[in-house]
Structure 1
Amino acid sequence: MSDTNNVLEIRDVTVHFGGRGGLLGKAGPVVKAVNGVNLDIGRGETVALVGESGCGKSTLSNTIVGLQPPNSGSVRIGGEEVVGADRRKLNDIRRKVQMIFQDPALSLDPRSTIGATIAEPLIVRRIAKGKALTERVAMLLQQVGLRPEHADRYPHQFSGGQRQRVVIARALALEPDLVICDEPVSALDVSVRAQVLNLLVALQKRMGVSYLFVSHDLGVVRHICDRVVVMYLGRFVEMADRDTFFSSPKHPYTRALMSAVPEADPMIQRSKERIILHGELPSPANMPSGCPFHTRCPLATEICSEVRPELTPRPDGALVACHHA
């Protein structure tokens, strides 16, 4: 039964690649990008999804918007099932979810004015035309801190921060329930990054939109999120609200990520313990037995290599998948 307070509900989603039809018709290795994850996002909530490159964050994001079909599981957006939906229904569902990508320069067509770029989804869905369309584009530009007369300019005439504002305006054009922000500020300077993050927060308060904020930067995550989900080799290993997460990280992998976040106070930075993870990130095509993190974990014991821990509730409300957390 779907919860009407949730804009996104993910149940037991698995995404694997390969295994059949490999080179010369031989079966290749199975890449287990996402392995049975569950997640809800409420209306007006921001959930951060963090982890190293290659942990499955982008694959899960593509699955949510219907670009990558899962091997199994369920994805509901606004109560509507994405998995197995026909083209017409999927097209209707996609109006409820939009994406903001990492590089604004690559997200925009250099041959189109930004006014045409923002107007495109409104035209395709026959929401507005003529004067109403022009006014809608002008309103969207103003919402993201740009001027209506900017509609006639091309992407190369804007700075990186301004281009990202254009991308945000396009993402909000259809008034979605959920916006997936895939590393939306990692390509920006620090000062511009803060401006874009503050803009996202202000727009959320005004419009009630929900965000899935995909990032590896915990400093950015701390500024914007309500809850944090940590992903490692296709699995969620820790989930907690922001205050609990940053005050009391429990999983050894989470603590290693936290130790890498620089502190503003030089005295605190010098005294801070840095947790170094030894060994390479295992290949998702050759997953370790038991806990996927045990090959790099400083707390690993025999049970870690034999039994995979499940997400377990803790007294403070956090969920942790670790035998020794």
Structure 2
Amino acid sequence: MSAPENVLEIRNVAVHFQGRAGLFGRSAHTVKAVNGVDLDILKGETVALVGESGCGKSTLSNTIVGLQPPTTGSIRLGEDEVVGATGRALNDIRRKVQMIFQDPALSLDPRFKIGAAIAEPLQVRGIARGKALKQRVSELLVQVGLRYEHADRYPHQLSGGQRQRVVIARALALEPALVVCDEPVSALDVSVRAQILNLLVALQKRTGVSYLFVSHDLAVVRHICDRVVVMYLGRFVEIADRDTFFANPKHPYAKALMAAVPEADPERQRNKEGNKERYILSGELPSPSNIPSGCAFHTRCPLATDICTRDRPELTPRADGALVACHHA
């Protein structure tokens, strides 16, 4: 039996931003938004990237789709190296990866009708023209649960959920191998979120597309992902398959994120709040321009000891297959 095919391979990717020099000759600071990460995503797999705002999730997402060049490292989509690609080679690579942004209202040009918005990538690539283009747009609209007549409407004439369906249709128009979903349901009403998540799952089963699902909402992540990657200050601190992660997260930061997820059952919520071992984050996320020494989480961790302030832990395999970067987990 052949090994599963990797759609995405990330190796030692870092993204640093050079700040402006301060007054009186002070040296410019370096913001380490992403600080050396490795990740593989298999064909047809959904990997969730979770963490607080400011941990580097969106920067890494933008780097994967080519919106932000990495400072160091390698990004491969299938057999193609993204870093350093130019011209026609870069255009061919970009066809393999698409992005769904957080706010569908900002993702669509209000001057374009829905049909034109979906047709644009097909026209730019020269994939379809005339009747074939119209037929392809209609097929995509139906795939995402809309009707043919929606093609003649403008974005403001649709609901938030309908607009996000249009964005999904446009992302799938070029039949990409990977779609990066950057908080795709956080701007939608709660009643609509489950519909969009179920749509993404159904489309994945139909097309075999892979997802990198960026979110801070573990309740949403649990519904859709195959694996969970927890990010803190530009580094991955835990990687595990969904069932292993939600049964027993190991890194203190992952435990704190899990403790913050509200329970629908009031009794379970009371038990969680009364749990003496419950991890509650204290303090603010440190600045990525001044990352603490050793384990970056030690300034907020209830388990921190001297070794945590000195030595940075690396991702280490555990018996259940999870990878955890913690001296005490």
Output the TM-score relative to the length of structure 1.
Answer: 0.97
Structure 2: tracts of 5 or more residues without a match? none
Q: Tell me the residue number matched to 1:57.
A: 57
Taking the aligned partners of 2:305 and 2:322, their CA distance within structure 1 comes to: 23
Q: Which amino acid aligns with 2:206?
A: R
Identity percentage over the alignment? Answer: 80
Q: Tell me the residue number matched to 1:301.
A: 305
Q: Structure 2 matches for 1:35-54, cutoff 5 A?
A: 35-54=35-54
Structure 1 position 280, deviation (Å)? 1.1
Q: Which amino acid aligns with 1:303?
A: I
Aligned length: 322
Taking the aligned partners of 1:23 and 1:155, their CA distance within structure 2 comes to: 44
Taking the aligned partners of 2:112 and 2:71, their CA distance within structure 1 comes to: 37
Taking the aligned partners of 1:128 and 1:298, their CA distance within structure 2 comes to: 58
Instruction: Find out whether 1:127 has 2:127 as its counterpart.
Output: yes
Q: Tell me the residue number matched to 2:182.
A: 182
Taking the aligned partners of 1:245 and 1:183, their CA distance within structure 2 comes to: 20
Select the residue among 284, 288, 297 that pairs with 2:288.
284
Structure 1 position 27, deviation (Å)? 3.9
Q: Structure 2 matches for 1:261-280, cutoff 5 A?
A: 261-272=261-272, 273=275, 274-280=278-284
Aligned residues of 1:4 and 1:79 also touching (Cα < 8 A): no
- Structure-2 change in CA distance of 1:4 and 1:93 (3 Å): farther
Instruction: Find out whether 1:144 has 2:151 as its counterpart.
Output: no
- Counterpart secondary structure, 1:194: helix
- Counterpart secondary structure, 2:286: coil
Aligned residues of 2:110 and 2:155 also touching (Cα < 8 A): yes
Taking the aligned partners of 1:72 and 1:94, their CA distance within structure 2 comes to: 20
Taking the aligned partners of 2:179 and 2:86, their CA distance within structure 1 comes to: 22
- Counterpart secondary structure, 1:134: helix
Deviations 1:163-190, CA, capped at 9 Å, x for gaps: 0000000000000000000000001111
Q: Which amino acid aligns with 2:105?
A: A
Q: Which amino acid aligns with 2:104?
A: P
Structure 1: tracts of 5 or more residues without a match? none
Q: Tell me the residue number matched to 2:102.
A: 102
Computed over aligned residues only, the root mean square deviation of the Cα atoms, in angstroms, reads 1.3
Structure 1 position 26, deviation (Å)? 6.3
Deviations 1:189-247, CA, capped at 9 Å, x for gaps: 11100000000000000000000000000000000000000000000000000000000
Q: Which amino acid aligns with 1:291?
A: C
Q: Which amino acid aligns with 2:285?
A: L
Deviates more, 1:133-142 or 1:27-36: 27-36
Deviates more, 1:27-36 or 1:108-117: 27-36
Question: Where do 4+ consecutive residues of structure 1 move more than 3 Å?
Answer: 21-27
Taking the aligned partners of 1:72 and 1:61, their CA distance within structure 2 comes to: 15
Deviates more, 1:79-88 or 1:287-296: 79-88
Aligned residues of 1:262 and 1:269 also touching (Cα < 8 A): yes
Structure 1 position 23, deviation (Å)? 5.8
Q: Which amino acid aligns with 1:270?
A: R
- Counterpart secondary structure, 2:283: coil
- Counterpart secondary structure, 1:133: helix
Deviates more, 1:303-312 or 1:74-83: 74-83
Instruction: Find out whether 1:321 has 2:329 as its counterpart.
Output: no
Deviations 1:64-104, CA, capped at 9 Å, x for gaps: 01111111100001120000111321111000000000000
Aligned residues of 1:304 and 1:323 also touching (Cα < 8 A): yes
